[in-house]
Chain A
Amino acid sequence: MSGLVFEHVRLAAGARVLVADFSLALAPGEIATVMGASGSGKSSLLAYACGTLAPGLAASGSVRLDGIEISGLPPERRRIGILFQDDLLFPHLSVGANLGFGLRADVKDRRARIDQALEAAGLAGFAARDPATLSGGQRQRVALMRALLAEPAAILLDEPFGKLDADLRAQMRDFVFAHVRERKLPCLMVTHDSQDAAAAGGVVRTL
């Protein structure tokens, strides 16, 4: 079956259980939302899915991506992209090189692919720019493009709009969701903003 499937995921920090039993199946292009107070283990759930869980946390359960069990794979082999609240563009690389970092090494025509991505983000001609000179919204759009250029099979959103003001937030949300749906990626979003959840229009779970 295609899509991203969580089955009986359990996360615990010592005796404290963060996530008791989380199961969810996401079809391609479906955007589901996980809500919860801070410290409820929302972000740990995403870290578990993409393979970057802190070593102090004990995890059990299963994550399958397009029918393949991925919970034992290192993060770079999982094909799961992630966007954080901070854009985390590499400050030592230009905007174009940040996008190039996302592209697989065997992709030809790199320059054209990067220019395409910049155009899709409304940032044509920005390849040589220092990321530090971009606005918050522009940086976040580059971060999404970088994640998409890595050709992930699913995408995780860790409160990606948390730092944007209300106007920009709605715009950015539309932009991200449109790209996710266009590529038919299963997408799990963590947020504590109910408007984000409403805009996603999918299943909403509370931890």
Chain B
Amino acid sequence: MALGFVPYLTLALFLGPVAAGLVFTLLPSFGYLPALGETQIGLRIFARLFDQPGLASSVALTLGTGFAASLVSLGLALGFCAAAHGRPIFRSAERLLAPLLATPHAAIALGFAFLIAPSGWLVRLVSPEFTGWTRPPDFASVGDAAGVALVLGLVLKEAPYLLLMAVAAHGQIAATATMATARTLGYSPFAAWLKAILPQLYPQIRLPIYAVLAFSLSAVDVALILGPSNPPPLAVLAVRWANDPLLDLFLPAMAAASLQLLLVAVAIGIWRLGEASVARVARPWLADGTRGRALERVAPVARAALLAVAAINAVCIAAMALWSVAAAWRFPHALPERWSFDNWMRAASRLAEPALTTLSVAAAVTLAALVLVCLCLENESRRQRAAGPSALWALYLPLLVPQISFLLGAQSLLVRLGWDGTWGALVWFHLLFVLPYVFLVLADPWRALDPRYAKLAACLGAAPWRVFFAVRLPLLLRPLLVAAAVGFAVSIGLYLPTVLGGGGRLTSLATEAVSLASGGDRRIVGVYAFLQALLPLLAFGLALAIPAFAFRNRRGLR
């Protein structure tokens, strides 16, 4: 069977909905939606959008929190690389951080909300002994108007993500040799990394950085849990209006989604200019001969900062786990007063359906993505030519375009086709976000596999499909399962695609956890959030355990 069509099929499957979704978001924004009697192309919908109260502050909040979260995350990730490169902690960073990344945004945000709330864990730890508070104090730490809690919540997930991307990118430049050279020339490790590694490394992680920026500017789930509600960031506003039972605000919602696209595009442009200016200012410094020994004093702080982020992530999950088994946990007790599994029992009947949807969609989309990605890569292997950089940009497209900007349009298209709220539509929506990650995880190990194994197998008389199944797939079992676990984790964490793809009929652990968050029963929220965090961890556990068992007598694959 010729595989030449597979890359095109894959691109069509996941770029088709993005393109169609964008068109069906942009058309109504510019006044074309015959279903609502609007056929006159013009800017009046945008005029209505800008007339909405609080829009300007919503846009300012979006830009402010988006840039702040991205800058802080990048600073933490790069600072850690500079401070820890060559140390044991740097080598184990990949192993330590992978489980953090698997944890869904919503679960972390819910845990963090409990941590910093006036009635939350931090206050409880010091109350009433040090504060005298026997009742929760009155301050707004979650949902503060400036969006500080939102920024911190985003940083918790994004700093580890960028760090993992940076660690992986070290393999693509001669990092160890470069560091050794710079240090024998008398540079302190921190300065050696900044001057010799960062300029080579940055281009390798540019796309993930832009993806982080786009996500920070448009995240809905984290903003619903930790962000201010009046006015909220633009993407939240768009979802709120689009789901309004009165259709009055439907067109402004579309315009808001289009404006969101513009914001992200402008923000990436501004970031690009920022990169150029930093490079220009820093270039003389690179070769001015200063060895930067004073910089070394920053290193312990930079290491501690990132470790603190990792620790807070763990604490957030632990908080949700505790709540899920707490029978009573009143303020200001630092630990539950009574324990029980009643919460799980009570939640079980309501939990079953969203849990089943979550699992079945995650399993189906992971399988579909794996098959497509394996066939694309097998096609590459047979043609002995890797896809070019334009393919990488295409893969990143669903991660760079704000979700709301194409998902609203795609959803209205689903409604028109009568497919909204179906399981298949939900899987397809998820595929748009799962496929890129599965590809990014699998492509490097696949391309790094010694091509002579396949050639030799062919010379031994094995036909191409036998080479695929008997040689290539078993040799790649470990990265295949890691890619599957990543895909599974991404699907479990997806919020907005589930809200819009599920059409209100299908719910998942992510959508239920977020909608319960405002309800206030932390015990039930704990059950949903902890289960949502647990499933990806189980998947990663399996992804490590299966090859370890299968290859227990194969030293060459350990």
Contact = CB atoms under 8 A, between A and B. Distances in A.
A92 B474 contact: yes
Contacts of B474: 90, 92-93
Q: In terms of DSSP, what is the predominant structure of the interface of chain B?
A: helix
B60 interface: no
A72 B551 CA distance: 38
A84 B555 contact: no
Interface string A118-133: 0000000000001111
Contacts of B453: 88, 90
Contact of B551 (A55, A84, A92, A146): A92
A74 B458 contact: yes
Contacts of B364: none
Nearest to B457: A101
Contacts of A90: 453, 457, 471, 474-475
A91 B557 contact: yes
Interface string A70-95: 00001111111110101010111110
A197 B450 CA distance: 28
B459 interface: yes
B554 A147 contact: no
Contacts of A101: 457, 460, 462, 470
A51 B464 CA distance: 13
Interface in B185-218: none
A195 interface: no
A76 B554 contact: no
A52 interface: yes
Contact of A132 (B450, B456, B556): B556
B556 A91 contact: yes
Contacts of B240: none
Contacts of B460: 76, 81, 101-102, 146-147, 150
A150 B475 contact: no
A76 B463 contact: yes
A93 B555 CA distance: 11
Contacts of A54: 384
- A: interface residue count bin: 20 to 34
Contacts of B383: 55
A121 B555 CA distance: 22
B461 interface: yes
Contact of B553 (A50, A88, A130): A130
Contacts of B458: 50-52, 74-76
Interface in B524-558: 551, 553-557
A47 B459 CA distance: 10
Contacts of A181: none
A104 interface: yes
B350 interface: no
B465 to A, nearest CB: 11
Interface string B320-338: 0000000000000000000
Given A91-B554, A132-B555, A52 B455 contact: yes
B280 interface: no
B463 A88 contact: no
A101 B384 CA distance: 23
Q: Indicate the member of A51, A90, A93, A104 with the most B CB atoms within 10 Å.
A: A90
B416 interface: no
A64 to B, nearest CB: 17
A133 B470 CA distance: 21
Contacts of B555: 130, 132-133
A93 to B, nearest CB: 8
Contacts of A51: 458-459
Interface in A120-177: 130-133, 146-147, 150, 152
A82 B457 CA distance: 10
Contacts of A102: 460-461
Interface string A3-31: 00000000000000000000000000000
A43 to B, nearest CB: 10
Interface in B459-508: 459-464, 470-471, 474-475, 477
Interface string A55-74: 10000000000000000001
B452 interface: yes
Interface string A97-117: 000011010000000000000
Q: Indicate the member of A54, A55, A92, A133 with the most B CB atoms within 10 Å.
A: A92
B469 to A, nearest CB: 12
A86 B451 CA distance: 12
Contacts of A130: 553-556
Given A55-B384, A90-B475, A92-B477, A81 B554 contact: no
B475 A104 contact: no
B87 interface: no
Q: Indicate the member of A84, A130, A133, A146 with the most B CB atoms within 10 Å.
A: A130
B478 to A, nearest CB: 10
B385 interface: yes
Nearest to B450: A88
A93 B470 CA distance: 10
A104 B528 CA distance: 54
B278 to A, nearest CB: 38
B30 to A, nearest CB: 46
A92 B475 contact: yes
B475 A50 contact: no
Contact of A82 (B384, B385, B459, B470): B459
A77 B462 CA distance: 9
Nearest to A150: B460
A76 B459 CA distance: 5
Q: Indicate the member of B459, B475, B555 with the most A CB atoms within 10 Å.
A: B459
Contacts of B462: 76, 101
B14 to A, nearest CB: 27
A80 B459 contact: yes
A94 B474 CA distance: 13
B557 A92 contact: yes
B452 A50 contact: no
Given A81-B459, A152-B459, 8 more contacts: A50-B455, A55-B383, A74-B463, A82-B456, A82-B459, A90-B474, A150-B460, A150-B461
22 contacts: A50-B458, A50-B459, A55-B385, A76-B460, A82-B456, A90-B453, A90-B471, A91-B475, A91-B554, A91-B556, A91-B557, A92-B474, A92-B557, A94-B553, A101-B457, A102-B460, A102-B461, A130-B553, A130-B556, A133-B555, A150-B460, A152-B459
Interface of A: 47, 50-52, 54-55, 74-82, 84, 86, 88, 90-94, 101-102, 104, 130-133, 146-147, 150, 152
